[in-house]
């Protein structure tokens, strides 16, 4: 799981993903409560300032283990501080967004959440210059859960054009 290079002052790497503003994009990925209350606004801004846009590789595990030549498939998400019911309105969560595992993960000894946006999938080489350092590796069970949710999302009935 790679961190997308973004110092919040230079958005060039994000523009290639059709993201003009990191905080606005994360606000659409994380279902924060209504921002009419100043305390909620403060907590939301604090959370966003400590969050990172990440890329999770979702390439087939068998391709990796068989060392097949390929371009890796990634999905974008947000690594945020641990949020709770006071911060979130899960009833307003868009269908393209998913709280990975429905649980907290630990990153640098701090609890955090991983929010996925299924509408932001792309292919890239592992050494893509838009990536920062590798943050961590998710266990097989979590990746299986993510793969299942992603498959359900992309196979929903809709209009396609050729």
Residue 97: per-residue pLDDT:
92
Q: What residues contact 79, with CB distance under 8 A and at least 6 apart? A: 3, 51, 52, 53, 54, 107, 112, 113, 114, 135
pTM: 0.83
> Where are the chain's structural domains?
2-154
- 60-113 pLDDT, tens digit each: 777 767 777 788 899 999 999 888 888 888 888 888 999 987 778 888 888 999
The number of residues in the chain equals 162
């Amino acid at each position: 799981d790679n961190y997308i290079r973004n110092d919040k002052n230079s958005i060039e790497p994000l523009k290639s993903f059709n993201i003009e503003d990191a905080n606005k994009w994360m606000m659409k990925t994380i279902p924060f409560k209504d921002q009419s209350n100043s305390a909620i606004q403060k907590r939301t801004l604090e959370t966003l300032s400590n969050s990172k846009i990440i890329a999770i590789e979702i390439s087939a595990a068998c391709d990796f283990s068989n060392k097949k030549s390929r371009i890796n498939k990634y999905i974008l998400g947000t690594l945020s501080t641990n949020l709770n019911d006071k911060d979130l309105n899960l009833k307003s969560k868009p269908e393209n967004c998913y709280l990975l595992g429905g649980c907290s993960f630990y990153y640098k000894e701090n609890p955090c959440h991983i929010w996925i946006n299924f509408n932001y999938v792309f292919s890239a080489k592992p050494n893509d210059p838009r990536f920062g350092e590798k943050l961590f590796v998710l266990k097989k069970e979590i990746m299986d859960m993510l793969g299942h949710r992603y498959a359900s999302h992309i196979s929903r009935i809709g209009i396609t054009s050729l």
